Amino acid sequence: MKKKNTIAVIAICIAGMSAALWFSLRPPGNIPVGIVCWIGSGAVVGSSEISAADLFLEEHKSSLIQPVPVDDQWNPDKTAAVVRETMNKGIKFFISTHPSKCAVACIHLFTEPSALLINTASTSPALSGKDDYFLRIVADGELEQRAIARFVITLPGKRLLLLQDSGNLPYTDPAFKYFSEELKSKDKWEIVHRKLAVSDFNPQEFHALMSENFDAIYILAGSFQAAIGNIAQLFHYYHPESPIILTPWARSPAILEIAGSAISRIILPTQYPSRSDDPAFDLYFRRFNDRFGYEPHSMAIGVRQALELLEQAFSKGYKTPEAVKKYLLSIPVHQTSLGPIAFDRYGDVSQKFYFIHDVEKELR
């Protein structure tokens, strides 16, 4: 396992350097697009996004897009300043993969047609229903959480442990509200709710709670934090037959590798169909792995879709934020290689949610 991880880290570093070289060699006159992600982490987070951009350019050699890495470290105290600095350099288009706390911190920068951003990961309702230049290709948190709750209602059991991450409250606070409302509407499950900082998870502090009588756990956390796998593993130790429900923002090979034997009980909600059911997704992940030598997290999907949307607009002659927004919102359904995107009049989307049970096969 350690050898596999070492190879993956080396491949990620090489991919990152390759992408940086590609960016510097793109011909002048192309349209720069800031890829806002956590590059400095040195992990699959960030590297997946940069590699996704690199792969897109290799497969679209005549593309007008010139990706530019923008590292906000997924830190809301830095996001606005980093994005504003990039805007001041003349960049007018952005794709972001950061969590809700960062998106909320920078949305005010996209109220005017001076710049446009396509967000691939932030579901906070605070971002919804606004006539601005901040577009999202993921569903609002209310749609996401009500879909997850409706699924949990179908499971056998009565007592649910819900651990909520306090490190990204713009996502998890409204998420808990909508999830619990939907679940309680059927008066079937008792929710035992605890908040914790997932990034600081200490197993010793949770043995007593985990050993209580529970029929399932819902780990309401995202940002692809590796500690989600540790939480799943501890719950599985005490409840080896009970389901472990994650959020769509835990679709990461690293998390599931850390989960160990708990992976057999994990259920992964996702906006994207299983690779087993959709050949396009399977082929994309295979191409990615063949090219870079590691399995990306799900942000690679959103980045690819966003790049294709911008390429479609640019290739049709729409090259200002205002023109691109008007184009994207005027087409009922945009086709991408990884599925359709249909914006509403505010630049938000609705999505179907899938629930993957064989997670080990999915992230093989």
Q: State pLDDT tens for residues 259-284.
A: 999 999 999 999 999 999 999 999 99
DSSP string, 224-256: T-THHHHHHHHHHHH-TTS-EE--GGG--HHHH
Tell whether 211 is covered by a domain: yes
Considering the domain architecture, whether residues 105 and 75 belong to the same structural domain is answered as: yes
Total structural domains in the chain? 2
Phi then psi dihedrals of residue 267, to 5 deg: -120, 125
- Both structure tokens of 26: 């793109």
- Answer with the one of 229, 247, 270 that is the final residue of a domain: 270
Q: Quickly state the pLDDT bin for 313 (edges 50, 70, 90).
A: very high
Considering the domain architecture, whether residues 252 and 304 belong to the same structural domain is answered as: no
Phi then psi dihedrals of residue 41, to 5 deg: -65, -25
User: Taking 70 as the threshold, does the pLDDT of residue 185 lie above it?
Assistant: yes
- Answer with the one of 229, 251, 270 that is the final residue of a domain: 270
Q: How far is CA 212 from CA 132, 192, 207, 216, in A?
A: 47, 11, 9, 11
The tens digit of pLDDT for each residue in 78-106 reads: 999 999 999 999 999 999 999 999 999 99
Considering the domain architecture, whether residues 69 and 81 belong to the same structural domain is answered as: yes
Tell whether 296 is covered by a domain: yes
Considering the domain architecture, whether residues 64 and 154 belong to the same structural domain is answered as: no
Tell whether 114 is covered by a domain: yes
Considering the domain architecture, whether residues 289 and 247 belong to the same structural domain is answered as: no
Domain, as residue range, for 156:
142-270
Are 271 and 247 in contact, with CB atoms under 8 Å apart? no
Residue at token pair 């870079």:
292
- Answer with the one of 246, 270, 294 that is the final residue of a domain: 270
Considering the domain architecture, whether residues 168 and 156 belong to the same structural domain is answered as: yes
Considering the domain architecture, whether residues 161 and 128 belong to the same structural domain is answered as: no
Tell whether 354 is covered by a domain: no
Considering the domain architecture, whether residues 134 and 69 belong to the same structural domain is answered as: yes
Tell whether 357 is covered by a domain: no
Tell whether 346 is covered by a domain: no
Tell whether 205 is covered by a domain: yes
The tens digit of pLDDT for each residue in 37-64 reads: 988 654 555 688 999 999 999 999 999 9
Q: Give the residue-averaged pLDDT of 244-271.
A: 94
Instruction: Residue 54: give its domain's CATH number.
Output: 3.40.50.2300
Considering the domain architecture, whether residues 131 and 189 belong to the same structural domain is answered as: no
Neighbours of 317 (CB within 10 A): 8
Are 55 and 288 in contact, with CB atoms under 8 Å apart? yes
Considering the domain architecture, whether residues 117 and 49 belong to the same structural domain is answered as: yes
User: Taking 90 as the threshold, does the pLDDT of residue 22 lie above it?
Assistant: no
- From first CA to last CA, the distance across the chain in angstroms is 14
* Average pLDDT along the chain: 91
251 closest CA partner among 356, 156, 165: 356
Considering the domain architecture, whether residues 99 and 211 belong to the same structural domain is answered as: no
Considering the domain architecture, whether residues 170 and 51 belong to the same structural domain is answered as: no
The pLDDT, as a whole number, for residue 80 is 97
The pLDDT, as a whole number, for residue 1 is 42
141 closest CA partner among 194, 182, 109, 95: 182
123 closest CA partner among 108, 105, 145, 106: 145
